Amino acid sequence: MNSTQKPVRLLNAAVIVASLGYFVDIYDLLLFGIIRIKSLTDLGLQGEEIDTVGMWLINIQMVGMLIGGIIWGVLGDKRGRLSVLFGSILLYSVANVANGMVAGEHAITWYMIWRFVAGLGLAGELGAGITLVSEVLPKERRGLGTMIVASVGISGAVAAYFVSLYFGDNWRICYYIGGGLGLALLILRVSVVESGMYKNIKESAVSRGNYFKFFTSRERFMRYLKCILVGLPTWYVVGILMTFSNAFAKEMGVKGSIDPGKAIMICYAALTFGDFASGYLSQVMRSRKKVLYIFYTLVLIAVVLYFSAHGVSETAFYTICGLMGFSVGFWAIFVTVAAEQFGTNLRATAATTVPNYARGLLPVISIVFGGLQTSFGFSYLASGLITGIICIVLAFVAAFTMRETFGIDLDYIEEN
């Protein structure tokens, strides 16, 4: 930032809109996991069908996010951060409303279609928001900006739980509220301006948003792959351990009845504090990598506690869910690292695709989890534990071998 520029406030329009957008994003993303049993039961499914179809719906949403991440990421570098930020909010808001309207003979089919569309929309908001915030704030404070975005956004899961609790079995209203919040957020579009870094390269002949550039250089591809693997433990915890916490609890003889929706809410409430703590620690320690090491260690401890919870009380089990949530509260650091690893002409593509590939790896994690049971004969609990250890080890190795990006200048482009 040169001397003629005015200092940029931490709580500027970009940070506020990105935070609120991510709040609605997370509300929608986790809402299905919270109302999965209510909605599928109301649509006529019973017993094992609820888990089987529920996994299909989660996976198809993640596939949508995987595809959407590429589309929105490329558009973010070609057309601008703002067009993606608000375009994605519009798409997932419309899909949210449509999810609440599924009914009739083909309700499950339409549910799957609209969860896929929702996934497409949800794929763009976070990457575009983090990229914009990273580029408009000075390098010494951008970690604080992304910390605010992640901390506010993650609390959307808590809001989703309490909304579902308030409206009881009327799960459709929960979707309508999410859609309404997203559409209302579009009004704030007029107050946000495009990133200056992006404006500078937009007026040049630099190639922007060329997704294939991630694969034309071995060094760049490895940078990209490491960024994806860094976020692996978060979706193992949320997508497997929390979403199916009732099944794990039953296997371990936990006293009382465990509600997956409540487990997700507690996990994300704690994750909000974890994101704040990891972001703040990163500023204090002046390092992204050291914070990741600390939180991976916490994840490992929390996973071991989770699978040691045989016969514990309902309260104790939910407490462990909270500890797990705090331990995976490095999402802000994870997405910030993805944005900081690449030049301005590929930054939005990286920051948008990376978290969606991490989320999109949930079907792969599910396959590993299931394969350990069917192909290797491990028990349900042993398979869950081994899957977790694999995810944590891969993430740790990726973080250990990537470059430190705290405080680096982001005003550069990816050549060749």
Question: Do 34 and 164 form a contact (C-beta atoms < 8 A)?
Answer: yes
Q: Is the pLDDT of residue 381 over 70?
A: yes
Q: Is the pLDDT of residue 96 over 90?
A: yes
Question: Do 253 and 379 form a contact (C-beta atoms < 8 A)?
Answer: no
Give the separation between CA 122 and CA 39, rounded to whole angstroms: 20
Percent of the chain surpassing pLDDT 70? 97
Question: Do 177 and 163 form a contact (C-beta atoms < 8 A)?
Answer: yes
- pLDDT given at position 7: 62
Q: Is the pLDDT of residue 2 over 60?
A: no
Task: Tell me which range, 163-172, 294-303, 370-379, is most confidently predicted by mean pLDDT.
Answer: 294-303
- The domain limits of the chain are 13-196+213-401
Among the listed ranges 8-12, 144-148, 293-297, 376-380, which one has the minimum average pLDDT value? 8-12
Percent of the chain surpassing pLDDT 90? 48
Threshold 0.85, pTM exceeds: no
- pLDDT given at position 3: 41
Question: Do 80 and 194 form a contact (C-beta atoms < 8 A)?
Answer: yes
- pLDDT given at position 324: 96
Q: What is the mean pLDDT of residues 179-191?
A: 83
Q: Is the pLDDT of residue 1 over 70?
A: no
Closest CA to 92 of 275, 278, 321, 356: 356
Higher pLDDT, 416 or 16: 16
Question: Do 318 and 370 form a contact (C-beta atoms < 8 A)?
Answer: no
Give the separation between CA 169 and CA 41, rounded to whole angstroms: 10
- pLDDT given at position 4: 44
Q: Per-residue pLDDT tens for 276-303?
A: 899 899 989 999 999 999 999 999 999 9
Q: What is the mean pLDDT of residues 39-55?
A: 87
Give the separation between CA 189 and CA 66, rounded to whole angstroms: 26
Q: Which CATH architecture has domain 13-196+213-401?
A: Up-down Bundle (1.20)
Q: What is the 3-class SS of the chain, one letter each residue?
A: CCCCCCCCCCCCHHHHHHHHHHHHHHHHHHHHHHHHHHHHHHCCCCCHHHHHHHHHHHHHHHHHHHHHHHHHHHHHHHCCHHHHHHHHHHHHHHHHHHHCCCCCCCHHHHHHHHHHHHHHHHHHHHHHHHHHHHHHCCCCCHHHHHHHHHHHHHCHHHHHHHHHHHCCCCHHHHHHHHHHHHHHHHHHHHHCCCCHHHHHHHCCCCCCCCHHHHHCCHHHHHHHHHHHHHCHHHHHHHHHHHCCHHHHHHHCCCCCCCCHHHHHHHHHHHHHHHHHHHHHHHHHHCCCHHHHHHHHHHHHHHHHHHCCCCCCCHHHHHHHHHHHHHHCCCHHHHHHHHHHCCCCCCHHHHHHHHHHHHHHCHHHHHHHHHHHHHCCCCCHHHHHHHHHHHHHHHHHHHHHHCCCCCCCCCCCCCCC
- pLDDT given at position 254: 95
Q: What is the mean pLDDT of residues 118-125?
A: 90
Q: Is the pLDDT of residue 415 over 90?
A: no
Give the separation between CA 227 and CA 230, rounded to whole angstroms: 5
Q: What is the 3-class SS of 332-383, one letter each residue?
A: HHHHHHHHHCCCCCCHHHHHHHHHHHHHHCHHHHHHHHHHHHHCCCCCHHHH
Give the separation between CA 256 and CA 316, rounded to whole angstroms: 11
User: Which residue type occupies 3?
Assistant: S
Give the separation between CA 386 and CA 376, rounded to whole angstroms: 12
Q: What is the mean pLDDT of residues 6-14?
A: 75
- pLDDT given at position 190: 62
Q: What is the mean pLDDT of residues 246-260?
A: 93
- pLDDT given at position 344: 87
Distances in Å between the Cα of 366 and the Cα atoms of 129, 252, 349, 383, 385 are 29, 20, 26, 10, 13
- pLDDT given at position 414: 85
| Residues in CB range of 205: below 8 A, 6 or more apart | none
Question: Do 368 and 74 form a contact (C-beta atoms < 8 A)?
Answer: no
Closest CA to 333 of 389, 390, 295: 295
- pLDDT given at position 55: 81
Q: Per-residue pLDDT tens for 127-164?
A: 888 888 888 888 878 888 888 998 888 888 889 888 98
Q: Is the pLDDT of residue 120 over 90?
A: yes
Query: Taking the mean position of all CA atoms in its chain, how far away is CA 240?
Result: 14
- pLDDT given at position 9: 79
- pLDDT given at position 265: 85
pLDDT averaged over every residue in the chain: 89
